[in-house]
Structures are given as C-alpha cells and as structure tokens.
Chain A
Amino acid sequence: MHVRLIRVLGLLAVIVMGLLSVAGPAVAGSVTSDGAESDEAAETCKTANEGYNICVVLVDQAATTEDFPDGAPIEGVTIVVTNPDGEVAEAVTDATGLAAVAVEVGGPHSVELDPDTLPEGSELSNPDQLRLDDVAMFGFSKTVQFPIGLEERTGTSLFVQFSQLVFTGLKFGLLIALAALGLSLIFGTTGLTNFAHGELVSFGGLLTLTFNVGWGVPLLLAIPLAFVAMLLIGFGQEFAFWRPLRKRGTGNIALMIVSIGLAILLRYAFQYVYGSENQQYDQYVTQTPVDIGPLSLFPKELVIMLICVLVLVGVSLALARTRIGKATRAVADNPALASASGINVNTVIALVWIVGTGLAGLSGALLGLDQGIEFQTGQKILLVIFAAVCLGGLGTIWGAMAGAVMVGLFTELSTLVIPSELKNVGALFLLIVILIIKPQGVFGRRERIG
C-alpha cells in the first residue's frame, strides 16, 4: 500500500537531484570572478597580524583612477574594534587603505570608524553607520566595509525595496514552510507541541556542515545525504523516545515539557560539538548577484526556493493522492475515528515523525546555504515557525504552508515600517494576535480551544 508513496517520493528525489546537478555547475560558474581585488585584500588581511584579523579597506569609490579601479585608498583613518569583553584594539589604514586589527576568534565584535580621522572631502556614504555591531569571525579574517563615495544606488525606490523584500520574504517563508509542515503534522497526529522542532532544523544544517566541510563531500551530495540522515533520526526518535513515552501514558502537556528539555539538551550538545560561531559551507558562499527586473539576487537563492516549492508540492501530492497520505490526514483529523476505521495509527505517526524530521532537516540544510548555520539557528526561528503554524491552523497541512509564506512575507515587509532587528517581534505579535482573534487559524476548523 506504500508503493505509490515510495514512487512519489522517489520521483521527487530524482527531480531534486537532477535540479541540483543542473543548477549546480551553473551556480558554481557564476561565483565571483571580478572580485580579484577583494580576494587580494582578503589574502593580505589573513596574514596581516598573527592569529585572527578584522580588516577594513577604505577606498573612495568616487575617485577611481587607472591604478586604483576600485577607488583611491584613504590613508590614516583610525579603526577601533571592541571585543565582547569590552577590550579595545585599534589600527590605522595604510597606503593601500587597509587597516588590520588583531582579534580573538569568535565574537561578536563591534567595529567603529573614528570620523575625526577621515580626511577632508571623504564622507561615509551612510554617515549614520560609523559602527558595525555583531561582526562575527568565520575564518582567520573578516573584511568589514565602510562604503565611501558610493553613489546612492540607482533605484532604491520604494518599489525596488518592496520587491526585494517580497522576494526575501517568500524565500524565508518557503524555508520555514518545510519545518512548519512537519510541526503541524506532528501536532495533528499526536497532539504534541514539539518545542524541539527548531533543533531538528539546526541538526539538518549542522549535518550538512559536517558532510561538506568536515568530510569534503560536495554540497550537492551533502544536502541530500543530510536529508536522508534526518529521515533516519526521525525514525530513531519516534521508536526510541516518543513511542515508549506515549506507551507509558505520559500526557501531552508533560510531553511538551519533555520536548523543551530535549530542545535544551540538543541545542547545547550542538554547541558542545560545533562551537558557537555561525559557519558557512565550503561551496557557493559568495556569488555574483544577478539582476532580474528590479531584483538583485544570488542564483543559489533561486535554487533554494525551487527546491522548497518542489518538495512542498511533492509532499502535498503524496498527502492528497496516496493511500497513506489520506490515512495521515484522517489521523490528523480525528485519531480515534481513524483508528476505528482500520487505519494503523502508529504506522501513520511513525511516518509523520520520519517525514517531519526530514523536512525540518532539509529546511536547516537550505537555511545554512542561505545564511550560514550555528547551534541556535533553529531556536531563533522556532517561534516564527509556531507563528506560521498557528496562523494557518495547528494541525492543518495546507494551512501550515500558507501560514509560513504569509509569516515570511509579513516579517520581511514589516521592516519597511519597523527597524529590521525587530522584524521577529512583528511575527510574534502576529502570533499573539491570531491566537486571540482566531485561535483555530485562518484555515483551521472551529473547535474548542479555550
């Protein structure tokens, strides 16, 4: 009876792999080639001081000459770096405009430019941004930009800004939709609000990191590999952990608190193994942006979105058309009735854990490709995922996906009005508002929730 499901999933895997291998080389080919200058600066930066360096290259981009196609270097500007303990180190830009400050690894550091040392006539393109906080070290060196003489980007009109935000929001929404679908399915079939779902997201990304950076597996193989590993972990946690607990008769609220314990345990176990820095995969980190209409975006972002859409469509089709998919929806709707009609509820729950964990892991692997991965990547988006699931309706399937896209768009578009570091506050407000006015969610059925 599972043949059809396996066929659908198999087809899906082939499509994703095919897509990756087709899109992969094209993406790889477009990695920045005209960035020789900045590569050179990065190399100098690595070896400027013993140990780790934060570098600033100051050039006046308005004054380009033949010798300096990127702009004339600005000498004698003081750069001050403050580490998390409040210790201060500084350096002055040399004849090539480079200032390298020796720092300890980690961070976040804050990098500040002393405006009094700027020569006459050179002004920062963004005079308000004399200080950059949260500069984290990824490798031996980190180059920080303070644009000078950069002309106002042509067309940062509201329209361009708006469409860029819509794009970013859509991408983020699709990424959290993968995780939200699993969370919603698990809630629907078992009644458990899984607070450890964020850690499953991190786990997928960190496994990809291990495969790619640690073992040298190409990323195109590392992501599917991490996905498969997460499917196995989903199987493992259902059989070794959650099923025995359900058999003991542990109530849902108790299980929810257990999931919090599990989340804390896993999160810090990740930190134990991987450290606390945000890390990047080995491939496709920097790419030349391509311009599509008003948008300027990395090719990898398009690939990420395409994979998300394909997987979501695949899972939706499997849920809608296959026998086991229908059984899953029946259990999510009413476990007792489903069980009475001869559906093996335990098989369905196991499948939901496997697929849900796999999808969360895939979401983390792709998030890592998009913005790097750290031990708390998942925790940071957990409440956004909750917001998505509650917006669509806890336990619903289509609602979770639609809710995720809506929350993604909402968080990004809210930055038009509120400071961007508060964008998650917007999502949390949305979560609380939706719980108050329509707790069953936009797509959920009305039932007793109070």
Chain B
Amino acid sequence: MDWGFILSEAFSAAFGPTAAVFALAAIGLNIHFGYTGLLNFGQAGFMAVGAYGLATSVQTYGLSFWTGLGVACCASIVLALLLGIPTLRLRADYLAIATIGASEIIRLTVASDSLLDTFGGSNGRSGFTGTFADLNPFTDSLDLGLFTLRPYTAWVALVGWVLVALACLITWALMRSPWGRVVKSIREDEEAVRSLGKNVFAYKMQSLVLGGLFGSMAGVVFALDRSAIIPSDVATDTTFYAYAVLLLGGAARVFGPVVGSILFYFVLILLGTFFAQATRGDTPLIPDWLMTSQQSAIMRFILLGAIIIVLMVYRPQGIFGDRRELAIDGR
C-alpha cells in the first residue's frame, strides 16, 4: 500500500483537468438548476456537442482548431435553442425526462454505425489536439510538491482552470445584475415574475444557452484532456457526475461547483486508487473473493450513487448552499 501514490493521484485529480471539466459542467448546471430552477438532465448532451463539435471539425472536415472551437460554441447554442423552444414550457419532471432523452439521442447518433465516417462510431474521434499541443508553454513536467503533472496535462489543467475562473466571474457578475435577480425569481415563483410583465420564456432560454455554453466548454476541455472523445464519455452518468459535484458544493453559489468538484474528485480518486491498490499483488489487502482488481474499478460508480443519495437526503444544500434557495420542492 503506497499512501504517497494514492494521495498524489487524488491531488492530481482534484486540481488536474478532470475536476476542472466537471467544475465547468457544474457551473453550467448551476445556472440552469441552481439559479433558474431548470432541471436539465441533459448536460452530457451539451458536453457532447462541445467535444464532438471540435473533434469532428478538425478530424473529419480538416478545419483549424480555432474554427473547431467556434463550431463547438455554435453547436451548443443551436442545441440549447432546439431543446429550449419546445421543452421550457414543461413542468420540472417533464423537462428532466425531455432533456435526458435529448442527450441520449445525441449519444446514440454519434455512436451510430451509419455515421461512422463522420463521428467514428464507438471509436469516437481523436487526433485533433495538434494546434493546442503546439501552444503548450510547459516544456517540463509541472511539479507542485503534492503531485506532478505531465507537460500536456498541466497545459490542459491551466486552460481548464482559467475557463473555470472566467465562468465564475461571469456567473458572479450576472447574478448580481438585474438579469440575475429576474432569473432567481423565476426559480422562486414563475407566475409572479410573469405577472410583473417579464418574458419568462426568454429569460429561461438565455439561461439555458449560457449554461449550455459552459457545458460545451467542459466537453472541449474533456476531449483535449483525453486527446480523444468516445460516445460512452457522454453517457447520462456524466450528467450525474456534474450533479453530484453541484450538490456537494452547494447549488446557487458561485464557488459551490468549484469547491464541490475539487472535493468530489479528491474523495472519488482517493477511494478509487485505494481500492485499486488494495486489490493488487499476490497477497492483496482485500481478499480476492471479496473484491477483484476488476471490481475495484466499479467502486467509484457505486460511491457516486451513494454520495448523491446521502447528499440529497441529509444535506441537499451541499456545503455552502442555503436550503431556502433550492428549487427541489417541486410543485
């Protein structure tokens, strides 16, 4: 059992690209769910259009990296409009079903064999990181004491966390503006806002577009980090990772998703690596009949489920949130 290794794995997950990806996705969800009260269960769909928007433009159509980024942003806006126009009038639970359905449509479509030439089927897309890797200012591994990041990973992490900081800044500025106050009052009482003459539908749509844009940026960083994107990366579980992050940190708080993501990935990878280590070798700490090394890889998903249940039951407002400010009581 190498505790030093386990800790450095956990720290590099918590401060590396993965946590940044899910912090970004959760900031998007925070705008949807935390501030506007929209129960979007299709954040994985926004991540998918971001990641595939970049990867497909570059690999399939040979466009430049920057055009690819533009395509990723535009695709997420188009998705938000397509999704929002029909579904934003629905009640919370119907909206949840419609959005999860839409994200599955996207996943099944990019995984489809009949579009193999465009999206690469189950092998996905890769080889789109050239321009991005060339811009890398890190020539050596980045040693931060607690953990070390390889040059490319450090570059992705830097970009990811800068995007997170920008997203936080935008969220903070917006939520103290008049726009933010309207959006928050939609969460509290939609009818009251409507009776004041506000166009509720337009505000909801703007919120969906903005949060979706953050989601697609999360998808872009995700694809850059792995240098590839495959359909199973954007399955519905991905959405619920983002929800777990948001609920842990606290919804309707600017830094909730950031702290939630760091903490969530620290705990998840700490336990995941512990189980992996404890089942390795000839005389593993956990006997083979109880857990094999294959089974140890499943533990993190079981933990994900358990964390969501426990949080929702005992502390739905998360670490920083305010229970009165949470749109989970339904109507």
**Residue positions of A touching B, CB distance < 8 A:** 133, 191, 193, 245, 248, 250-254, 256-258, 260-269, 271-272, 383, 386-387, 390, 394, 419, 421-422, 424-425, 428-429, 431-432, 435-436, 439, 448-450
B87 touches A432 (CB 8 A): yes
| Chain B residues within 8 Å of A257, by CB | 243, 247, 308, 312, 328
Closest residue of A by beta carbon distance from B95: A435
Q: Does B286 contact A (CB under 8 A)?
A: no
A261-B307, A449-B94 known; A268+B302 contact, CB < 8 A: yes
Closest residue of A by beta carbon distance from B88:
A450
Q: A256-B96, A422-B109 are in contact. Are A272 and B302 (CB under 8 A)?
A: yes
B89, B102, B312: which contacts A432 (Cβ < 8 A)? B102
Tell yes or no: B293 within 8 A of A by CB. Answer: no
Seen from chain B, the residues whose Cβ lies within 8 Å of a Cβ on chain A are 39, 86-87, 89-94, 96-98, 100-102, 104-105, 108-109, 111-114, 121-122, 237, 240, 243, 247, 295, 298-299, 301-302, 304-309, 312-313, 316, 327-330
8 contacts between A and B (CB under 8 A): A133-B122, A191-B330, A253-B329, A256-B93, A425-B104, A428-B105, A435-B97, A436-B86
Q: How far is the CA of A133 from the CA of B330 in the complex (A)?
A: 44
Residue of A nearest to B305 (CB): A265
Cα A193 to Cα B240 in complex, Å, equals 16
Residues of B within 8 A of A248 (CB): 313
Chain A residues in 8 Å Cβ range of B329 = 251-254
Task: Say yes or no: A421 contacts B90, CB within 8 Å.
Answer: no
Bound Cα distance A248, B86 (Å): 35
**Assembled-state Cα–Cα distance A201/B320 (Å):** 37
- Whole-angstrom distance between the Cβ of A397 and the nearest chain B Cβ: 19
A156 to B: closest C-beta gap in Å: 20
A425 touches B108 (CB 8 A): yes
Contact (Cβ within 8 A) A383 B104: yes
Known: A253-B328, A254-B328, A419-B114. A193 touches B295 (CB 8 A): no
Q: Shortest distance in angstroms between A299's beta carbon and chain B's nearest beta carbon? A: 32
Do most interface residues of chain A lie in helix, strand or loop, or is the interface mixed? Answer: helix
A432 touches B98 (CB 8 A): yes
Interfacial chain A residues near B97, Cβ < 8 Å: 193, 383, 386, 390, 431, 435
Of the candidates A271, A425, A450, the one whose C-beta lies within 8 Å of that of B298 is A271
Chain B hits for A254, CB < 8 A: 312, 316, 328-330
A262 close to B87 (CB less than 8 A): no
> Are B104 and A428 interface neighbours, CB within 8 A?
yes
Q: How far is the CB of A241 from chain B (nearest CB, A)?
A: 9
The one of A193, A252, A421, A435 in contact with B113, judged by C-beta atoms closer than 8 angstroms, is A421
* 10 closest A-B pairs by CB: A265-B305, A261-B308, A264-B305, A251-B329, A261-B309, A268-B301, A436-B86, A253-B330, A252-B330, A254-B328
Q: Which of B91, B302, B308 contacts A260 (CB 8 A)?
A: B308
Task: Look across to chain A and name the residue whose beta carbon is closest to the beta carbon of B93.
Answer: A193
Are the C-beta atoms of B313 and A432 separated by less than 8 Å?
A: no
Q: Cβ of B237: which chain A residues have Cβ within 8 Å of it?
A: 264
B133 to chain A, nearest CB (A): 22
Q: Give Cα A264–Cα B310 distance, bound, in whole angstroms.
A: 13
- Find out whether the CB atom of A258 lies under 8 angstroms from the CB atom of B312: yes
Closest CB in chain B relative to A432 CB, distance in Å: 5
CB distance from B31 to the nearest CB of A (A): 17
Complex: A248 Cα to B92 Cα, angstroms: 21
Within the complex, the shortest CB–CB distance from A185 to chain B, in Å, comes to 16
Q: How far is the CB of A309 from chain B (nearest CB, A)?
A: 28
Chain A residues, CB < 8 A from B121? 133
Q: Are B87 and A421 in contact, CB atoms less than 8 angstroms apart?
A: no
B320 to chain A, nearest CB (A): 18
Question: Which chain A positions have C-beta within 8 A of B313?
Answer: 245, 248, 250, 258
Q: Is the CB of A265 within 8 A of B108?
A: no
Do residues B312 and A422 form an inter-chain contact, with CB atoms below 8 A? Answer: no
A191, A245, A265, A269 interface centre (most CB from chain B within 10 Å): A265
Interface contact A419-B112, CB-CB below 8 Å = yes
Contact of A435 with B94 in the complex, beta carbons under 8 Å: yes
Cβ-defined contact, B98 with A435, below 8 A: yes
On chain B, the residues within 8 Å of A265 by CB distance are 302, 304-306, 309
Question: Which residues of B lie under 8 Å from residue A421 when comparing CB positions?
Answer: 108, 111-114
Counting chain A CB atoms within 10 Å of each CB, the highest count among B39, B101, B113, B299 belongs to B101
> Is there contact, CB below 8 Å, between B240 and A260?
yes
Give the nearest-CB partner of B306 in chain A: A265
Shortest distance from the beta carbon of A197 to any chain B beta carbon, whole Å: 12
A450 touches B91 (CB 8 A): yes
